[in-house]
Chains A and B, each alone.
Chain A
């Protein structure tokens, strides 16, 4: 078994303003070519982890412990320049909102070729040809026309395809997909999920898939980590998580999800007792941490 592609160990993050813990001892491993889901409700910390990997945490959050190792190298020990050099070609992002992620004032061609020219040293002509290939790969109709277009001329689904093309352009080892389908219609979502899976399998890329939707996790992820208030509640293969959930929170969350094939679901909120138990667990953890500090 080869070493994991990404290995997060005991990551701790706190808010700079009031010292509130945002990530509590998060550990997870991602193998090459694995699609790993970061699941949780809003505020659980999944975006924080994604940003920590990319090194784009907002100023108000600081990492006070743990490591993020990409192919064995701890990203947290690097200075800004080295981090950029390491991450640039190796890790890319598929962002949540395709509308704001693209520069409205530049054509698609420019935005696709930027990275290729910067990191792969291609000439403009080479980069353009590669960009065209990528657009075909993401099944974009009339790729030449799309290249010349501005973002507002494309639909949401098309924009997201462009972003996926951009994400895979540099042949990264790891792609972070930050709720990439939240802003899309459900039929378009399915197409995009299929596309991400196809690209991922073809290029052998690892994917960190941030989402709050358990259905999406079930359909596209191999393994997943469920977070609550910055702490890992359950972790493992998706099959285990769905069929044999161990933590009460996982079970309660699944009960609370409405399903069109099981009409009774979705109307019973997560019982207060479950939240209380989770909070107690977190409080105990915080106390133990304080004891060590």
Chain B
């Protein structure tokens, strides 16, 4: 259409935050995935108030009771008990704490470290890129399981070492994606324009390029959270995570595996929780990516 400045309309100011929120909420994946995660966060924070029982309290008289709806259940134990009489539901709820702590902290640590290296490699290129790329390749050649066992063996078991292990292994995921996206953005004219205006290279990297890398980063972050939850479960399954007292989903799965014929629910409940959580993170990430891209492409 012929461009006519005097009559070309610039639309009325949208409330940008409200608009972004609406775009996000329009994605069902964001609503369901994000909603579930928020629900889990609430559970984790309010665990002491919500959990019907003390997760550590053993009651050998009430051992291996099935969940409600099955024969010989006890209404006090909605999801039944394990062989030591501990309430499955309460342990599940408290297990959310470990799962989410690991998910958020580990993912963010991996993201920060990986993004930093990815940005530098992608923008400065040359020697920096060669070093970072080689580092990534070598790092990814290590079998991740062995590496995490090594880290936990050195640091001792516990949430901190689990978080460290995940961050140390998975930063490469972020570095590769961010490096590629940075290289693509660095070709754009707006970067050249910033150079022409006299901005320093570092300023350009963080003020111009990083905001454009953010959408990809965000989606990857939620994906990483799902992965972190699973890795934590694996580590606690093999007994390398927190002490066996603190309830973790992985630990519950390990215990449940041993008594699976007597009390299958001890195995099934945390598995279901794990599945639902990872699914929620993946959906959230997928929805975020979709919601954030069209804003730019419109």
Identify the closest chain A residue to B1 (Cβ).
A43
Q: Mark B1-19, 1 if CB is under 8 A from A, else 0.
A: 1101011000000000000
Chain A residue at smallest Cβ distance from B2: A41
Q: B1–A272 contact, CB under 8 A?
A: no
Complex CA gap A275/B7 in Å reads 10
Report A214-232 CB contacts with B as 1/0, cut-off 8 Å.
Answer: 0000000000000011000
**A270 at the binding interface (Cβ < 8 Å):** yes
Interface mask (A39-60 → B, CB under 8 Å = 1, otherwise 0): 0011100000000000000000
Q: How far is the CB of A279 from chain B (nearest CB, A)?
A: 9
Chain A nearest CB, measured from B163 CB (Å): 47
Q: Which of B2, B4, B7 has the most CB of A within 10 A?
A: B2
Residues of B contacting A272 with CB < 8 Å? 4, 6-7
Cα distance, A128 to B7, chains bound together (Å):
56
In the complex, how many residue pairs between chain A and chain B have their CB atoms under 8 Å apart? Answer: 14
Q: Chain A contact residues: over half helix, strand or loop, or mixed?
A: loop
A269 to chain B, nearest CB (A): 9
Cβ–Cβ < 8 Å partners of B1 in chain A: 41-43, 229
Question: CA of A204 to CA of B1 in the docked complex: distance in angstroms?
Answer: 34
Chain A: residues with Cβ within 8 Å of the partner, total of 8
Smallest CB gap from A43: residue in B: B1
In the complex, the answer to whether A270 meets B6 with C-beta atoms within 8 Å is no
Q: Give the residue name and chain of the B residue nearest to A276 (CB).
A: B7
- Chain A residues lying within 8 Å of B7, measured Cβ to Cβ, are 272, 275
Complex formed: what's the CA distance from A48 to B6 in Å?
A: 27
Interface of B is mostly: loop
Which residues 1-45 of B have a CB within 8 angstroms of A? 1-2, 4, 6-7
Say how far A255's CB is from chain B's closest CB, in angstroms.
Answer: 14
Closest to A278 in B: B2
CA distance A43 to B6 in the complex (A): 18
A228 to B1 alpha-carbon distance, docked (Å): 8
Contacts of B2 in A (CB 8 A): 41, 43, 228, 270, 275
A272 to B7, CA, bound (A): 9
* Chain B contacts for A229, CB-based, 8 A: 1
How far is B7's CA from A100's CA once the two chains are assembled, in angstroms?
Answer: 36
For A43-81 the 0/1 string (1 means CB < 8 A from B) is 100000000000000000000000000000000000000
Contacting residues, chain B, for A42 (C-beta < 8 A): 1
Q: Which residues of chain A in 232-289 are interfacial with respect to chain B, using CB atoms and an 8 Å cutoff? A: 270, 272, 275
CA distance A270 to B7 in the complex (A): 14
Least distance between A256 CB and chain B CB atoms (Å): 10
Bits for B194-219, please: 1 = Cβ < 8 Å to A, else 0: 00000000000000000000000000
User: How far is it, in angstroms, between the C-alpha of A42 and the C-alpha of B2 when the chains are bound?
Assistant: 7
B4 CB, min distance to chain A CBs, angstroms: 6
- Give 1 or 0 for each of A19-50: 1 = CB within 8 Å of chain B CB: 00000000000000000000001110000000
Bound-state CA distance A275–B4 (Å) is 9
In the bound complex, residues from chain A placing their C-beta under 8 Å from that of B4 are 272, 275
When chains A and B are docked, how far (Å) is the Cα of A8 from the Cα of B69? 74
Select from chain B the residue with minimum beta-carbon distance to A228.
B2
Q: Please, which residue of chain B has its CB at the minimum distance from the CB of A274?
A: B2
A42 to B4, CA, bound (A): 13
Return the chain B residue nearest A249 by Cβ.
Answer: B2
Interchain Cβ contacts under 8 Å between A and B, 14 examples: A41-B1, A41-B2, A42-B1, A43-B1, A43-B2, A228-B2, A229-B1, A270-B2, A272-B4, A272-B6, A272-B7, A275-B2, A275-B4, A275-B7
Given contact pairs A41-B2, A43-B1, A275-B4, a sample of 11 additional A-B residue pairs in the complex whose CB atoms are under 8 Å apart: A41-B1, A42-B1, A43-B2, A228-B2, A229-B1, A270-B2, A272-B4, A272-B6, A272-B7, A275-B2, A275-B7
Please provide the 8 A-B residue pairs with the shortest distance between their CB atoms, ordered closest to farther. Answer: A43-B1, A41-B2, A275-B4, A272-B6, A275-B2, A272-B4, A229-B1, A42-B1
